[in-house]
Amino acid sequence: MAKELIQKSVEELAPLIQNGSLSPVDLTKAVLDHAEDTQESINAYMTIYRDEAEQSAREAEKEIKEGKYRGMYHGIPMALKDNLYFKNKVTTMSSKIHKDFVPDDDATVVSKLRDAGVIFTGKLSMHEYAWGITNNNPHYGAVRNPWDTDKIPGGSSGGSGAAVAVGSSVASLGTDTAGSIRIPSSICGIVGLKPTHGRVSKYGCYPLAWTLDHIGPMTKTIKDAAGMMDIISGYDQKDPTSVNTPVDQYLQKIQGNVKDLVIGVNEEYFFKQVDNEVDQIVRKNIQALVDQGAKVEIVNIPSLQYAEWAELVTSLSEASAIHHEDMLKRPQDFGDDIRMLFELGELPSAVDYLQAQQVRRQLKQEFQQAFQKVDVMIAPTLPVVASTIGDDTVDLNGQQVDLIDNIIRFTGPSNLTGLPALSIPGGLKGNLPVGVQIIGPAFAEARILDVGYAIEQTNPMKDRKPELLTRA
């Protein structure tokens, strides 16, 4: 029974919990047991809240029996990335410097999930201070990919990606500054959504780069992500970047109807220097949508050629400003990889930063113009598949190329523009997942989720799951 439970999505579990045929207590115990069993091999968790989770599960079961069912996520056990604040709970950012940091408040997204009846099973590992894409953490050890434990899970939300993929958390939240939701989602074969900037409150999330940061769902299915968006979206006056615009009905709008959908494809940037098999898999998924009535139109976005530079200058500068004082006082307490990045972040001038913002403004305008002609844009989430833990390079059609530069190439532009972007499993190269990225206009999360659902319905993964999950 436990083996079957941990493989199920929220959309499968919720009706069973609602009608009383599945106890939140049994589900929570199964997830916690599996989290403990896989911790040594995957290392997804920073902390497991066993006693509190079991108590919360008992309370959820009592509420539901009394007819006080709160919705899709009531009684669902899940852990969150360890840069989201839990009141009176240690929140480490997977760092040495903040290893004993205890926030005074819940993050807004934590409060909203708590109100929805979520059972929190613990906090998940991340790349230190969210400033990296491997989750090879010098203080707490590497998180491993459930599909191949010699490979990275992606980052910075690597613990979230690995935990959802291996079944040690039914769903999770990640944060995304240059791809940190979509990178691990692609690499771990799950769904990851970076919402529009300002759609989901960042209050109570430790920042990496103020103008680029986002929080979003990481789940097994599109409907799981849509259901979570229904909970966490909305204006929050405690977050100065929050946008006061009506919230969509995400779950209700999932139909998977792509008839007459116009898909934008940008060949010059998003299909340049891509692994041959990854390219084929993404194009096969586009063709599957065309077979359902969608159309393809080539779009040109000239400023994309400067996007990597603008993203790097912006993220380096903002991140280094946040950590400037600790870099002066205790640089030895940072991991080597991120200390180097914080040192680099002191180098761009004010002129560099402001020029990067001009590129950003132009890029936003060009995407806006493109979305007057197309409904969504589709691209690979990543040009490559997962690299080996500890490697600084990755194979791209027989050549070893720089890992960081290549892995954020296709995700970074959506952080610069703030546009919503979704990664959905599109298939496998060997035994490693490949993500398809769907980008939409501002606040069009419902649209890109719906397109993702149309892809999901074609079963591109052929029901394949990590062996650690199926033989649990």
Could you list the active site residues?
Answer: 81, 156, 180
Whole-number Å distance between alpha carbons of 17 and 209: 39
The alpha-helical segments, DSSP class H, found in 215-306 are: 222-232, 267-270, 276-290
Whole-number Å distance between alpha carbons of 121 and 57: 10
CA atoms within 13 A of residue 200's CA, in its CB half-sphere: 33
| Residue 55, Cβ density class (10 Å: 0-12 exposed, 13-18 middle, ≥19 buried) | middle
Beta bridge partners of 37: none
Phi, psi of 34 (to 5 degrees): -70, -35
In the block, tokens 């539901």 appear at: 64
Whole-number Å distance between alpha carbons of 36 and 258: 42
- Sheet containing 262-265: order of strands: 172-176, 214-219, 191-194, 421-429, 432-439, 376-380, 262-265, 295-298
CA distances from 420 to 197, 319, 369, 417, 451 (A): 8, 22, 16, 9, 13
Query: Within the chain, what is the greatest distance between any pair of CA atoms?
Result: 62
Q: List, in sequence order, every beta strand (DSSP E) within 82-190.
A: 119-124, 136-137, 141-142, 172-176
In sequence order, which residues have a C-beta less than 8 Å from that of residue 378 and are 6 or more positions away?
263, 264, 265, 282, 285, 286, 289, 436, 437, 438, 439, 451
H or E stretch at 357: helix 350-370
Whole-number Å distance between alpha carbons of 433 and 384: 10
Whole-number Å distance between alpha carbons of 454 and 294: 11
Single-letter amino acid code for the residue at 99 = K
Phi, psi of 136 (to 5 degrees): -90, 90
